[in-house]
Structure 1
Amino acid sequence: MTSITLVPPTAGLHDSWLASWDEWGTLDQDGASAFLAEKLGLDLRKPEDFAEWVRVLVDMGRPGATPPEGMAPQSTLWVVEDGEYLGAVGLRHVLSNEYLAEAGGHIGYGIRPSARRRGLATLALQASLQQARDLGLDRVLVTCRDSNTGSVRTIEGAGGVLEEVRPVERYPASFGLTEPMRRYWIEL
């Protein structure tokens, strides 16, 4: 019998996280905030840099925390099954910049390719919605690429109401978007 849990990031999952990175084929794993490591000059392949990145992620979720420049306070949970990292979900406490307000939203999540179609994204999103309620948020913005039918089902299943599907042309080029984005609001 396997045990799936949602836990704060931990350096103890370094090897498993790296295996997930290999599956994704990119450092940019949805929901994982791995881009932050690059921004901080950290090499996530190195255990000491990975541990520093984990520390920053955990600290960003603490009340009154000051996140790195350009970042919002954020609570991160990792989806873990029997000691194996399967994915992540991040809840931005505020939409503190243009990117988050327009394209990133409050919640980002991602499940490694080998663990998809098991309801883990739904589990992660539900946990993040509870965190949002605990923070006193009234509603959250959740976005996904228009072509991501799995996320569409997950968000709509959680009560997401589609605001609009925005074409790429409506976003600044600096956002680096390559396809339309679906914008959903979930009332809490």
Structure 2
Amino acid sequence: MPELAPPTGLVHRSFIAAMEEFRAEGRGGPGDDTTLGATLREYGEKWHDPAVFERYVAEVTAAAEQPPGQLGVPVTTLWYTDGGEYLGRIAIRHTIATRFLREYGGHIGYDVRPTARRRGHATGMLRACLPYAAELGLESVLVTCDTDNTGSRKVIEASGGVFEDERGGKLRYWIQTELPRV
């Protein structure tokens, strides 16, 4: 059964295969200004080396501790895996302290590998990350998607997203977080 987990070298092969799938659909080119696009440009040719991959995993993990500033905000990244298979990732920004994040980026960003789409994984990831966001002190999170991304809009709405408005080609939704009941 798929679950959220911290980034790990245990899914190295599957992760590389997923990144190749993203590349095949055009991600990572010069015009791709997403986190995934930038990461593909920086690491895409180097990930095959296990030492480089381990450094990448360490950098992604350390981003949760970075102070807000010029380089962005603290981000907790979790990978959605099923056994040894990498299915996707979700990033929870601890704050939306920059204008870009407040207007367009939001608290949460996610990607599902192309061969794992349309199976409920994005909805599963988004719902599963809400307790993590609550543990960070976030009572609600801003989640955005492009106006023409019907799949992502449906994922956000199925996860409790309440539409706020549209800004700059982005639909903006707020989702209440909740700590798990004990």
Counterpart of 1:15? Answer: 13
Q: What does residue range 159-178 of structure 1 map to in structure 2 within 5 Å?
A: 159-167=160-168
Q: 1:10 to 1:90 in 2, by over 3 A?
A: same
Indicate the RMSD between aligned Cα atoms, in angstroms. 2.8
Deviation at 1:68, TM superposition (A): 8.4
Give aligned pairs, total.
Answer: 172
- Please give the alpha-carbon distance, in whole angstroms, between the structure 2 residues aligned to 1:34 and 1:12: 23
Q: Specify the alignment match of 2:59 in structure 1.
A: 56
Cα distance change, pair 163–69 in 1 and its aligned pair in 2 (3 A): same
Query: Normalization by structure 2: what TM-score?
Result: 0.82
Shift of 1:33: 5.1
**Are the counterparts in 2 of residues 30 and 110 from structure 1 also a CA contact under 8 Å?**
no
Corresponding residue of 2:47: 44
Are the counterparts in 2 of residues 88 and 109 from structure 1 also a CA contact under 8 Å?
yes
Task: Report the Cα distance in structure 1 between the residues aligned to 2:126 and 2:97, rounded to whole angstroms.
Answer: 21
- Tell me, in whole angstroms, the C-alpha distance in 2 between the residues paired with 1:107 and 1:99: 13
CA distance in 2, matches of 1:94, 1:75: 11
Which residue identity lines up with residue 166 of structure 1 in the other structure?
R
Q: Distance in 2 between matches of 1:31 and 1:68?
A: 19
What is the CA–CA distance in structure 2 between the aligned matches of 1:165 and 1:11, rounded to whole Å? 38
Structure 1 match to 2:75: 74
- C-alpha distance after superposition, 1:100-145 (max 9, x if no partner): 1221110001111111111111111012211111122121110011
User: Which of 160, 174, 179 in structure 2 is aligned with 1:185?
Assistant: 174
Counterparts of 1:61 and 1:33 in 2: how far apart (Å)?
17
Secondary structure of the corresponding residue to residue 24 of structure 1: helix
Inter-CA distance 82–30: structure 2 relative to 1 (3 Å threshold): farther
**For 1:154, what is the secondary structure of its paired residue?**
helix
Higher mean C-alpha displacement, 158-167 vs 65-74 = 65-74
Q: 1:88 is matched with which residue?
A: 89
For residue 176 of structure 1, what is the aligned residue in structure 2?
none
Deviation string, structure 1 residues 22-51 (Cα, Å, up to 9, x no partner): 1111248999756357569x9334322221
Instruction: State the alpha-carbon separation in 2 of the partners of residues 119 and 184 from structure 1.
Output: 19
What SS does the aligned partner of 1:43 have? coil
Distance 1:93 1:55, change over 3 A: same
Once structures 1 and 2 are overlaid, which stretch shifts more, 45-54 or 153-162?
45-54
